[in-house]
Amino acid sequence: MKLRSLRSVKLAGKRVLVRAELNVARSPTGKLLDDSRLQAVVPTLRLLRTRRARIIIATHLGRPGGRVDRRFSTKPLAPRLSRLLGAPVKTSHDCVGSAVEYAVATLRPGQVLLLENVRFHPGEERNTAAFSRRLARLADVFVLEAFGAAHRAHASVVGVGRWLPSVAGLRLAEEVAVLSRILTQASRPLVFLIGGAKISSKLGLIVRLLRRSDALLLGGALANTILQAQGLNIGKSLSEPKMVKAVRRLNLTNRQLHLPVDLVVRQANGRSAVRAVGDVGRHESILDIGPDTVELFRTVMKRARTIVWNGPLGKYEQPPYDRGTKALARAIAHSRAFRVVGGGETVDAVRSQHLEKRIDFISTGGGAMIEFLEGRRLPGVELVRM
């Protein structure tokens, strides 16, 4: 897949609108918990500064619902981004309007302005022509550098492309290149580890991967629905009963498919216990994969030359139900395979154990990564495709 390159356009003195993916995890007090998405956009910003562009950054943060909610202001991101970039980052009180247009007009070549949250406007998620046009008025060139939002047909992702020449940022181009190679030229055996809560959002991917992979390992709450479809008791565990009929159409006896063989449950008294698949009590909840499953998945991954992982294997945010996810993070990190990881909690499991340097590629996309691997066309990627 060939994309229009940022390096192919004249940038000196131009107003360049960069749609970044700075939707970062923060504590209840607003402290940044992970700046990896800020780090990902820095190479593109540095190139733009070197090329003497006037840089305007647009991003969303959280889900304010189309209204102003200062809990989701982008302004607290500016100091960290400034330190990473090694240059001042100005901020604005809005992302469109006359005051913002004036702030852009006063930018000198190489200067950077971070706009306020685009999702403070209902026209962003609705992708209205009016809001897209107001954003487009700020710039001469549009750079999409938000792979994590590329599956959203929002105004700041695709709408501005109706009025501005559009190109791919350096990181977005890298994301597309790496994931495309996995689909077409991956070193075999190719192993996918897929977790998470909802099988409804990943069923299409599972169907595709059963045809393309050498092994598909499934865990997390999405595996509960598969166990339910097999007629096994899952107690009070999270599942999607409405998806059981669709799951039963899968070839669950496929030798490439590997499901949990044991589980960690929370008992009625609140304590954790290990249960064999099928032995879950009716008042128990499955919250993690068990030690035998960890060992099974490790054994499969030892043979892999490419491993792709998306989604936690249990209720990762609540110890001790993070053990399975963390154990497999370590197994992947110490594998000799080419390793690709994506999705917020998945990446956190890697970073919390300081394993990120042992991962070959960490995707900035969760849902976008899933949809790309599923074979769907991402609206943002299509915008900058040659």
**Closest to 122 (Cα-Cα) out of 83, 62, 65, 76:** 65
Q: Which are the catalytic amino acids? A: 37, 198, 344, 367
Lowest mean pLDDT among 57-71, 101-115, 243-257: 243-257
Residues making up the chain, counted from first to last: 386
**pLDDT for 253:** 85
pLDDT digits (tens, 9 = 90+) for 334-369: 999 999 999 888 999 999 999 999 999 999 998 999
pLDDT digits (tens, 9 = 90+) for 21-61: 999 888 777 788 788 899 999 999 999 999 999 999 999 99
Say what the pTM is.
0.92
Q: Quick one: which H or E segment has residue 247?
A: helix 244-247
**15-20, strands of its sheet edge to edge:** 89-91, 112-114, 54-58, 15-20, 141-145, 166-168
User: For the chain, which residues make up each domain, given as ranges?
Assistant: 6-174, 186-374
**pLDDT for 29:** 76
Please answer whether residues 202 and 196 qualify as being in contact, where contact means their C-beta atoms are separated by less than 8 angstroms: yes
**pLDDT for 1:** 81
If you classify domain 186-374 with CATH, what class do you get?
A: alpha beta
pLDDT at residue 156 tops 90: yes
pLDDT digits (tens, 9 = 90+) for 169-219: 999 999 999 999 999 999 999 999 999 999 999 999 999 999 999 999 999
Please answer whether residues 340 and 360 qualify as being in contact, where contact means their C-beta atoms are separated by less than 8 angstroms: yes
User: What are the structure tokens assigned to 64, written together?
Assistant: 């304010």
Mean pLDDT over 116-130 rounds to 98
Tell me if 6-174 shares its fold with 186-374. Answer: yes
| Residue 372 falls in which region: left (phi positive, over 0), alpha (psi -120 to 50) or beta | alpha
If you classify domain 6-174 with CATH, what class do you get?
A: alpha beta
Task: Quote the CA–CA distance of 67 and 318 in Å, as a whole number.
Answer: 32
User: How is the chain split among helix, strand and coil, in percent rounded to 5?
Assistant: 40, 20, 45
